[in-house]
Amino acid sequence: MKFGIRGKLLGSFLAFSLIFLISLGIVLLEVRDINIATGAVQEEGRKVELTDHLQLRLHMFLDPANNYLISGNVKERDRFDQLSNEIFQITKDLQRYHGDRRWETLSGELNHDVLRLSEMLVTILFIDRPIGNRKGAQLLHEATVFSGNMVRKADEFRVLSEKEMIRMVHDARSKGENVTLVFYGIVATIVIFFALLSFYLSRFVIRPILDLHRGAQTVGQGNLDYRLTIRTKDEIENLAGEFNQMVEAISGMKRDLDKKIELTQQLAITDSLTGLYNRRFFMEKLREEIKRNERFNHPLSIILIDVDDFKSYNDAHGHLKGDDLLRNLGMILKRNVRSVDFVCRIGGEEFMVILPETDFAAAFKIGEGLRKAVEEYPFAHQETQPGGKLTISLGVATSVKGEKDLLKLVQTADDALYQAKRTGKNKIGILS
């Protein structure tokens, strides 16, 4: 005959119902505290999620103004409005949460900074004749520096939230340990006063419950592959099944979260149009390669690439065709460099290739290969371009021994590119 937990324990607990009720009350109070702590952890998780969204939007916030200065497309204003509304909503959501004094200070500063940065970008987006506008470029540079400071504040936002979450998780774990202590007290009472039932209770009640406790501790230590196997044909077996389902759900959530984090990190360094690395990645990677060059005394070269007469192509065929051209160009550049090289789109129709451990002669050879590959590729509508072909101009720069100035290296490549443009295009510029 099968009995549930209630049938098995009813006779044992009748004489000590008062003790049981008191213990149950304590457990319920602790569980309530755990639920409150869990809710607080979830709230902190939402704050972390909001700061992640804020960082991502801030990285994208300058794109409309940058693209407007390059293409003069007024539709970039609509994109700016969308990003602006999203950022203001995120900062508004963040202000609804409370934290320590530093959190409140950062919240106020960041809200003020968003307004200031928006004003700067609006000024850029409403400049007449934006293409090649020096004032617009200067304002964009100031906005970029200002945006970088905002990103660092958003990073501090995240650090504060993560610290608070760790503290709350620690508190929740402490409360869980209190529940465990109460549970052991109840078990001890049963063992002492019902010695005759010890074997029965040990086999069908205590041991399964300890398995549940051990499983909770194991999962709490991060082993989400752990599963319980309990065969008592009662509520404990049902609880073990629900426990396994809960762990499976948590494991799935963690996998999804890991994928989202990985995707977010990838998006932060990826150009959305071409799939190449973006300007942020270029600056960080070039800085890293310059340090490595200094440490090991290896050569380092970069190639700056610009599409010849791209504005003419855009004006003739529209921005969508221009985007298709940039995507195809990114594919060609990626296919015609080495696996150790890094191809980046740094803005508009400009691309940059980082060539680790490559001297000027080798870099020039690679650049010439890229130029020929582009010249020979059958781009759509290229017959309308000057000369009937779509071409690129390139500027090569190599870091000399002891060279630490990243901007100087980039400027050298830019000067070489200008030389190529000035002397006929579709070539690699060489500085005398």
Asked, for residue 6, whether it belongs to a domain, the answer is no
Both 37 and 158 in one domain: the answer is: yes
Asked, for residue 87, whether it belongs to a domain, the answer is yes
Is it the case that residue 48 has pLDDT exceeding 70? Answer: yes
Known catalytic membership, residue 383: no
pLDDT at residue 179, rounded to an integer: 65
Asked, for residue 8, whether it belongs to a domain, the answer is no
What gap in Å lies between CA 432 and CA 420, rounded to an integer? 12
Domain ends where: 171, 204, 239? 171
Domain of 374? 279-429
| pLDDT digits 0-9 by tens, 268-321 | 889 999 999 999 999 999 999 998 888 888 899 999 999 999 999 999 999 999
Both 37 and 154 in one domain: the answer is: yes
Asked, for residue 345, whether it belongs to a domain, the answer is yes
Asked, for residue 224, whether it belongs to a domain, the answer is no
Least confident range from 39-43, 217-221, 421-425: namely 39-43
Structural domain tally of the chain? 2
Both 160 and 290 in one domain: the answer is: no
Strongest mean pLDDT among 55-69, 116-130, 318-332: 318-332
- Beta carbons within 8 Å of 386's beta carbon, 6+ residues apart: 308, 309, 312
User: In CATH, what number is assigned to the domain containing residue 92?
Assistant: 1.20.1440
Identified catalytic residue from 76, 164, 289, 349: 349
User: In CATH, what number is assigned to the domain containing residue 349?
Assistant: 3.30.70.270
What gap in Å lies between CA 124 and CA 131, rounded to an integer? 11
Share of the chain above pLDDT 70, in %: 86
Domain ends where: 125, 152, 171? 171
Chain-wide mean pLDDT for the chain? 82
Asked, for residue 248, whether it belongs to a domain, the answer is no
pLDDT class of 100 with cuts at 50, 70, 90: low
* pTM for the model: 0.46
Asked, for residue 196, whether it belongs to a domain, the answer is no
Asked, for residue 21, whether it belongs to a domain, the answer is no
Cα angle, residue 205 at apex, residues 203 and 206 outer, rounded to 5°: 80
Domain ends where: 171, 201, 233? 171
Which is more confidently placed, 386 or 50? 386
